Amino acid sequence: MPKSTTHPNPSHEALAVVLQVRGFVLQVLLWERAREPFLGAWSLPGGRLEHGETLERSIRRHLAAKVDVRDVAHLEQIETLSDPGRHPERWLVATAYLGLVPAHVDPRVPADTAWHPVDELPSMAFDHGEIALAGRERLRAKLSYTNIGFALAPPSFTISELRALYRAALGHDVSATNLQRVLLRRRVLEPTGDTRAPGRTGGRPGAVFRFAAAGLEVTDQFAVLRPPDSR
Amino acid sequence: MPKSTTHPNPSHEALAVVLQVRGFVLQVLLWERAREPFLGAWSLPGGRLEHGETLERSIRRHLAAKVDVRDVAHLEQIETLSDPGRHPERWLVATAYLGLVPAHVDPRVPADTAWHPVDELPSMAFDHGEIALAGRERLRAKLSYTNIGFALAPPSFTISELRALYRAALGHDVSATNLQRVLLRRRVLEPTGDTRAPGRTGGRPGAVFRFAAAGLEVTDQFAVLRPPDSR
DNA sequence: GCAAAAGTGTTGTGTCTACACCCATGT
DNA sequence: ACATGGGTGTAGACACAACACTTTTGC
């Protein structure tokens, strides 16, 4: 049995794919590297896991340096990457998280940090490009069977506004009619009772809705092969 | 900035929830601990991540000591656990995998290793009980929207045989009629053309099927909010 | 013939998309 | 009045569950 000193442990970092719909486009928060390797390339925010903290606490701590953490409405683990070649010099394991920021906030970010459309990623450091895309896919999948939209939307909104968010996140058009019906049938949305005044150009005032729950819930379980007579 | 020596890295281990349907019951491969902490309690197979290997290679290497790795038909990452208190003495991060063994093989396992029904777990070490249940839930979820059954089933089988596997894995009854229709409609199964002779007690010979694909495929994407006119 | 097991026909239900139409507002 | 955007009604497609019924075998 080898002595433990001959087998050091990997460094472990937490990374976050922080997504927000900004200007009708799904964007990811990136950080421009100031040193080699990948000097000048963009990377996901994150950093080292310290003794005594969980990965989730760690990513929250690192994100605090980039955005107001209270603005992150949802955070979930995506995947842990361990390819020995993912960092050219060191042995570095990374656990990636998905973070979502609602559209109504505009967090102040440091000068070396900026939002980029997920569909037009700049030159990315390490494997961070693939991780960002994995985050986008996780969001897209969960939009269709959970209430995860709550983490992209402001506290209240009209169906049109919500539709714009879904369209940006999903990358394809979404019918306002069907979006409303699906989310109401599942009781994901509920009307606030208010209406939103129309713009200069007129139009009927839109009803205002909110998400019924503040945390992630699965809303479309057992699509098939459900237990018998579970209606 | 603290020196790196004052901040050691965590040990990192890979664990596996290896599931197989044995005797009409979903069972998990467990390993009886021979030393403290948790002496005599049962734990998931796995072990230390070594330099130069990925987590997946690592779990395959550790599993090789318990089962013939070629018997593991599917392996996927579940989650990484990082609670500092999950090990009473050391700082130990664990990445859990789900492994599936088809029902037709009976791997030779060492004396300290045994299969246990997932629904009646023995006294478990660390957080391994929760991890085992998370593995079961991952399997159950994927049974309903992917072809993951291929990793539980033998190369060919009748619908009755497949139904028994699904019932054991899902934990509730499954209608053979509907199982057949769902999996054929999705082209997850295909007939081999053969039939299986009935038992002593008679009955119509059953048609023999196989899974159409050997790897994991999502078969029920876009349950809702799919792109317009994507039929 | 009878029991047992496999497989098909059929009906009902629920969910979703698409599209036509109606509603409420500003100019 | 009319343009604009919001909302409802409705029909069709589809997938699924449930159950009755038929088919094929052993005894």
What is the average pLDDT score of chain A?
92
Q: What is the pLDDT of residue B18?
A: 97
Query: 10-residue block means of pLDDT along chain B (231 residues)?
Result: 61 97 97 93 96 96 88 97 94 97 94 96 97 97 94 97 96 94 95 90 92 93 72 52
φ/ψ region of B58 (left if φ > 0, alpha if ψ in -120 to 50, else beta) reads alpha
Contact B179 A82 (CB under 8 A): no
In this complex, the answer to whether residue A180 has its CB under 7 A from any atom of chain D, a nucleic strand, is yes
Question: What is the maximal distance between C-alpha atoms in chain B?
Answer: 78
Kindly report the bases of strand C lying within 7 A of a protein C-beta atom: 3-9, 14-20, 23-27
The candidate with the shortest Cα–Cα distance to A44, out of A126, A157, A154, A153, is A126
Distance B229 CA to D12 C1' (A): 14
Q: What is the pLDDT of residue A229?
A: 66
DSSP state of A98: E
Residue B77, strand partner residues: B97
User: Which of the four pLDDT bands, split at 50, 70 and 90, describes residue A174?
Assistant: very high
Q: Strand (E) positions, chain A?
A: 11-22, 25-32, 42-43, 46-48, 74-81, 92-100, 113-117, 157-158, 189-196, 206-211
Amino acid at B200: R
Q: What is the pLDDT of residue B2?
A: 44
For residue A186, pLDDT over 50 is answered with yes
Distance A225 CA to C6 C1' (A): 20
In this complex, the answer to whether residue A205 has its CB under 7 A from any atom of chain D, a nucleic strand, is yes
Query: Cα A140 vs. chain centroid, distance in angstroms?
Result: 10
Query: Which tens digits make up the pLDDT trace of A213-231?
Result: 999 999 887 667 777 765 5
